[in-house]
Amino acid sequence: MSKKWVREAKRKSASKQEPDAAPRMNKRLVRPLGQGEAFERWLRAARQLQLPHGLVIEGAPGIGKTTVLQWLTAALLCPSDIDENEPCGMCRTCTRIANDLHPDVHVVRRPRDDIEFVQKETSFHRITVHQVRAVQEELQRHAVEGRARVATFVEADHLQDDAQNMLLKTLEEPGEATFLILEVARPEQLLPTVRSRVQRLRVLPVPDSVILGELEQRIPQQLGRFGEIVAAAKGSLGLALSAGTEQAVQLHDLVREWLDSTQDLRPFAIARAALSGAEERRHEIRSARMFLWWMRAELRGRRDALASSAEGSYAAESLEPWTTWLERTLQADRDLDLQIPPEQVLTACLVQLMS
């Protein structure tokens, strides 16, 4: 994190602190869509406090892992008897879970913005040993409301190796009614010793028809783009909704301009344009990831169109550049995880695509 970002975050943190203000609970739980019988079995087990003490929820970015995580957590803790197989999703317990405010749920993750980074001294890059130690101390205390204690790790594939090793003792001896739920996009980043001590639930892609219905309800103004959004989302409702924002549409147009341009290409100028208007580091990273996501969608589409136009007969090497370009955009995403400045990441990626 650059000194500029830290100074800006400190300034905003000082201006926004309201010690006497009560926490706002403006979020509501949402039931996961299209998850099938396996999820229903885990849900019933959670209501009966028979969920595995260590569970990994895995799936592609934006596919709904956090929604699944919160719904399962609510199934463990919701006191409502309206449905023996489901949390109610509406009571005070469920609402506090949705807003990360329940006293028996300890959420561990990287900071969501610059202000949180400064206030909590966590890491943008990794979930640290310090964070794991702190949550283990919390789990040693009695549950505040008595039913269970839950530690949820968002982006657990960003746990430091030492932090994962520290988790092993809790996974082996979790204590009564104590559950650890790890949400990951890349389960291979977890150590084999951790993977061997947990069970895994894969979040299923949402059917295209369901995504289309959600888009029609939430962003009807983007009707003309629904087809390309659904095709690019590949079952991820979260990515589909993000792709329908005005900023995402502008980034998509910028990607097309880059790929279709017959004039001199300027990687630096394109990278600057992709990050235009982003005031904080998290906004720059979000814009960079959306630009790379649209780049991959366009590259895949053009590669598939090339293969289709050949009517099943084409040389394998004719598709090799497309595969290489796709790999370079994926590497750029990983570079963002390494805290390399987004402008530098995008510029380097575009330069490589020109070579």
Query: Token digits for 94?
Result: 């469920």
Beta strands in the chain (DSSP E): 54-58, 105-108, 149-153, 178-184, 199-202
Question: What is the set of domains in the chain, with CATH numbers?
Answer: 3-202 (3.40.50.300), 245-354 (no CATH)
φ, ψ of residue 344 in degrees (nearest 5): -65, -40
Q: Are 61 and 203 in contact (CB under 8 A)?
A: no
The pTM assigned to this predicted structure is 0.77
* Measured distance CA(1)–CA(117) in Å, rounded: 9
The whole-angstrom separation of Cα 76 and Cα 98 is 14
CB 275 within 8 A of CB 287: yes
The string of DSSP codes covering 113-172 is SHHHHHHH---SS-B-HHHHHHHHHHHTSPPSSSS-EEEEETTGGGB-HHHHHHHHHHHH
Between CA 157 and CA 164, with CA 158 as vertex, the angle to 5 degrees is 80
Per-residue pLDDT tens listing for the chain (355 residues)? 454 444 444 444 444 444 445 567 788 898 998 888 889 999 999 999 999 999 999 998 888 999 999 999 999 999 998 888 999 999 999 999 999 999 999 999 887 666 656 566 666 678 989 999 999 999 988 889 878 999 999 999 999 999 999 999 899 998 889 999 999 999 999 999 999 999 999 999 989 998 999 999 999 999 999 999 999 998 998 899 999 999 999 999 999 988 887 556 688 999 999 999 888 888 898 999 999 999 999 998 888 887 776 565 555 555 567 788 899 999 999 898 887 999 999 999 999 888 7
Q: How many CB atoms lie within 10 A of CB 106?
A: 20
- Inter-residue contact 193 to 162 (CB < 8 Å): no
- Closest C-alpha to 87, from 70, 104, 103, 101: 70
* Strand ordering across the sheet containing 199-202: 105-108, 149-153, 178-184, 54-58, 199-202
d(CA 109, CA 69): 13
Cβ–Cβ under 8 Å, residues 184 and 152: no
